[in-house]
Structure 1
Amino acid sequence: MIKTGEPDWNDLRYFLAAARAGTLSGAARALGVRHTTISRRLTALEGALGVSLVVRRPHGIEITPLGRKLLPLGDDLERAMQALTALVRSGKNRVRLALPSGFSSLFGQSMAAFHKTHANINLELTSGSRPVDLQRGEADLAVRVGVVGDDSLIAQKLCVAGWSIYASQRYLDRHPMPIDPRQLAGHEIIGFHASLAGVPGAKWIEAHGAGATTVFRVAEMTEMLAAALSGAGLAVMPCMLAESEPRMLRLAPDILGSHPVSLVYRREIGAEAPVRAVIRFVASVIKDHAVLISGEAR
């Protein structure tokens, strides 16, 4: 038999099925195809390899000696392809969601329900103040607080996050109420690292913090909360984070600043079914907590 070209390794599936069944009709039933398809694919594989793999008998097929040597290699290749397929499928069903600091607590109670209804989706959450680079694949989706400046990304607005001024009772024992948030002179305040200069809290302190003493500068809102709880100073911070902590006291009913909360993702992945399921999940969770995030309810 003369070799006529490179083998189509998909034909190997038909050879393995025929060898296991012992007949073309048995292989056809196993693969859900016509027995003529099995015969044609076997002939194609033999033609590509330039060797005979089976001998067709009236009551079945006989594997040639060379065919028997090929069987273990075919089994190994089949297992490798199955593992490759499973890996690709699991990768497609993995969705990585990046959250700003403080947002992960909103998703905790809902994660079990999501996994129950979407058992095939592996949803991974990460949290931090540094915006992930979606274009470089650091995450698939990101909840982003503030204006999204990258026009190549889809930004779905979810709600508005409000900021106000807070202190712990430890601080108020040293500086009794009332405290005018527009006159912070004489107070200790918790400031912001330069990387957070654009957030509403940093802008408020810049406008109204003349005469105040900055005792800390933080790069994470969770660090600001910890410092404020210790009584170190006043904190202008997200209402969502502060009002989830009963030991923090809001000093003014007003919203002192706000910015949008958006779900951001690359345009090309937006149509993928697992991603769409996570988008709906994120939108639902944020909607359920929109009042807390806005800080409007008093």
Structure 2
Amino acid sequence: MDWNDLRVFLTAVRAGSYSAAGPQLGLNRTTIGRRVAALEASLQTALFRETPTGPEPTEAGRLLLEAGARVETEIAEVLRRIALAPPDPAPLRIASSAGLVVELMAELGAAAPSGGPAIELVHAIDPVEAVTLRRADLALALIRAVPRRLAGRQAGIVTQARYARRGTPEGPPLCWGEEVELALPRHWTAANSGDDAPGAIRFSSWGALAQAVRSGVGKAWLCCFAADDDPVLERIAPPDPRFDTGLWLLHRADTPQSAAAAALTQRLAERIAVRLGAQAV
């Protein structure tokens, strides 16, 4: 078995398609397809199967991915010890619930050392869907339970309280849009539900909702870890435990993370845990 063919297979699975893997490998999709076919021929078994969500590794492919990830880690460690730079790691595509990652940029920056994987923030209201469909590699997801096919770790619990611009507590309620209500946990979006506020302004991103409250447009339930640090905002109602939700860092369970991506994920989870642990209740 050719290691280079195995490396191509690893990159193609992580990227989600031959076309997406092309820029990382410096190869076109046809060449990548030939390399994967050569690997399958050498092993005399199929490595992919078609599913409703696209190609997925077979059992043989999954075992090969796990072995390949271990080899990749060992090679990177050897190169580090002999002071040679390993190949540039693939970009780590991160999606977050309604764009909540904008409130975690300090933690993300601290977790991403020089020489680590490049970071690409992917626009997606539902990060679980983005990772499931391989449009992202890592989800910062507000969820109650880990979905099938994903794995990861919980960074902490996000609490919500009602906020308004300081000095303007009587503004109208601001609400989540229908797309957010359909994509994210109902008990979380219920804090800013539009069911009882006909005609209210609705939002499909965390950033837009938070900025509207800062600008005095209205009041809304916001994440305490973010809003409490904002001098423009003030709490006008205490946190409600009904709206508490776990914040998880998730990746596909059938695709081992690269060593660089796994290390960054761990550092990011630790820093987010510190931030969430300090939120006032």
Range of TM-score over shorter length? 0.5 to 0.7
Moved more, 244-253 or 143-152: 143-152
Q: Distance in 2 between the 1:123 and 1:159 partners?
A: 22
Q: Distance in 2 between the 1:236 and 1:112 partners?
A: 28
Residues 1:246 and 2:261 are matched in the alignment = no
Corresponding residue of 2:144: 147
> Under a length normalisation based on structure 2, what TM-score does the superposition of the two structures give?
0.57
**What residue identity is the alignment partner of 1:269?**
T
**What residue identity is the alignment partner of 2:190?**
K
**What residue identity is the alignment partner of 1:235?**
A
Secondary structure at the aligned position of 2:100 is classed as coil
Secondary structure at the aligned position of 2:244 is classed as strand
Corresponding residue of 2:275: 289
Q: Distance in 1 between the 2:134 and 2:277 partners?
A: 32
Corresponding residue of 2:216: 231
Q: Distance in 1 between the 2:234 and 2:107 partners?
A: 25
Q: Distance in 1 between the 2:112 and 2:220 partners?
A: 35
Match of 2:173 among 178, 183, 189: 189
**What residue identity is the alignment partner of 2:101?**
F
> Under a length normalisation based on structure 1, what TM-score does the superposition of the two structures give?
0.54
**What residue identity is the alignment partner of 1:157?**
Q
Residues 1:95 and 2:82 are matched in the alignment = no
Q: Distance in 1 between the 2:147 and 2:223 partners?
A: 24
Corresponding residue of 1:270: 256
Q: 1:220 to 1:104 in 2, by over 3 A?
A: closer
Corresponding residue of 2:117: 121
Corresponding residue of 1:53: none
User: Which entry has the higher C-alpha Rg, 1 or 2?
Assistant: 1
- How far off is 1:200 after superposition? 4.0
Secondary structure at the aligned position of 1:102 is classed as helix
Q: Distance in 1 between the 2:157 and 2:270 partners?
A: 15
- The answer to whether the 8 Å contact 1:201/1:236 transfers is no
Identity %: 18
Q: Distance in 2 between the 1:205 and 1:107 partners?
A: 24
Residues 1:167 and 2:194 are matched in the alignment = no
Q: Distance in 2 between the 1:206 and 1:105 partners?
A: 22
Q: Distance in 2 between the 1:215 and 1:170 partners?
A: 21
Secondary structure at the aligned position of 2:264 is classed as helix
- The answer to whether the 8 Å contact 1:167/1:249 transfers is yes
- How far off is 1:124 after superposition? 3.0
**What residue identity is the alignment partner of 1:168?**
R
- The answer to whether the 8 Å contact 1:129/1:219 transfers is yes
Superposed CA deviations along residues 146-178 of structure 1, whole A, max 9, x for unmatched, are 235631111322211111111113523xx3xxx
- How far off is 1:205 after superposition? 5.1
- How far off is 1:243 after superposition? 2.0
Q: 1:204 to 1:271 in 2, by over 3 A?
A: closer
Residues 1:133 and 2:119 are matched in the alignment = no
- The answer to whether the 8 Å contact 1:228/1:235 transfers is yes
Q: 1:205 to 1:265 in 2, by over 3 A?
A: closer
Secondary structure at the aligned position of 2:104 is classed as helix
- How far off is 1:271 after superposition? 5.0
How many aligned positions are there?
190
Q: Distance in 2 between the 1:258 and 1:278 partners?
A: 26
Secondary structure at the aligned position of 2:201 is classed as strand
Task: Identify the structure with bigger relative contact order (alpha carbons < 8 Å, sequence gap 6+).
Answer: 2
Query: Which ranges in structure 1 are unaligned for 5 or more consecutive residues?
Result: 1-87, 176-186
Secondary structure at the aligned position of 1:215 is classed as coil
